[in-house]
Structure 1
Amino acid sequence: MTASTEPEMTALAGGPAVLTPAQVREADELADTCLLLARLARDEESLVRGPLDRTRQHWIGTAPHALAPHRHPAPDPGRFTAPGEHPGPPGTKPFHLGLYTSTARHDGPGMWRTYLDIGSTLHPRPWQTWHLPVTAPAGDILDIGGAGDWAAFVGRYPLVHGDDVHPDWAAAARDHAGIHMTLRAIVAAQGFRVRVPAGLAAAPFWDIESTLWLRWCFAAPRLAEVTP
């Protein structure tokens, strides 16, 4: 997904493509023809379509680097920033609030760990993989299962900024503890703008199955693995 929908490639093409409501439905239908997603869904339905498996959520801490010199290795509720506490720039995948987890596979690590294995200078070792037991009720977690779900989400919680409509994460936090972006939604919606009642939604770039937690919803984290 990163190779196909890199933001720089979108910029060179003159901006992301815009999907009409009919094309949003078509994008979801095309995602359902993906043989790889179908194969994954046989073993890991929660990653592909949801619902979120609350028993297998992992967060990975990495060593500090020049851009994040104060990075801490373990998740801590005392450092959790809820939406609205310290307003930052709007975004479809904000990095100044909440906490992200990825679902571990039944037979191994999750997609975030697999992404790290590919290699990135922004995520130096050692890596600490933490299991976060989720205490939030299942109904408090919103699964984004496709491009249609993404359009409905932004349409329900719009935050207009310039020419773009972003999700209003503070408003979403009043109704949901976490927003789960599934693989089907990433395949169907990544890199595309969609029309919503308030205008054009900014293109999402999530790359991997993950959940943005808008509230701290975890029992004591447990260290699952250290990768030196």
Structure 2
Amino acid sequence: MSLQYQVVPVTSFSQNCSIVWCDETMQGIVIDPGGDVKQLAALISELGVNVDKLVLTHGHLDHVGGTEPLAQQLGDIDIIGPHKDDSFWLEGLEGQSQMFGFPLTTAFEPTQWLEEGDKIEFGHQVLDVFHTPGHTPGHVILYSESAKLAFVGDVLFNGSIGRTDFPQGDFNTLIASIKNKLWPLGNDVRFVPGHGPESTFGRERASNPFVADEMPLY
């Protein structure tokens, strides 16, 4: 048994939405359903995944814009995350929609806020939750120890890091989140960022101009 996933770029921001599932039970989750709900629903059906919850890394529109419609389409399933410090982002979704020219997205509150140390379970798979503020104050990442795989939202990218010029963003806090929460998970950990191609923590430590720490590249 193992964790499987498929990344689907959605919205005009090419945000990486991830369908993640246990290949033994076909139970799964969707991480950051930012939009293109019909496309996501069709792919979930095609893959044969039984999605029982939607999980949000943070409250920005391009990551959460399709959440409520997809939850309803899949049978009114639970919406989990992000950390409650991002509640102001979810409360301001209507304003975000107007600002970025997105379809109107109304404010919502998740079924459950996430905390450091929480676990997301589906089938025989478990994702550990880490609170990683900086890009937004309530950002979380999700980590599979068995698969050595992390879903990091907009904390870290291949060759870059998340923006910190949004309300309640903070550069030093973001760098601390990356170095204190992500790096200890291991250099061999692959990660799916919120935008762009995958990478590994080791490669970013060796070459990312924002967070490289002179670690030799293996």
TM-score by length of 1: 0.24
Higher RCO (CA-CA < 8 Å; seq separation 6+): 1
**Which of structures 1 and 2 has the bigger CA Rg?**
1
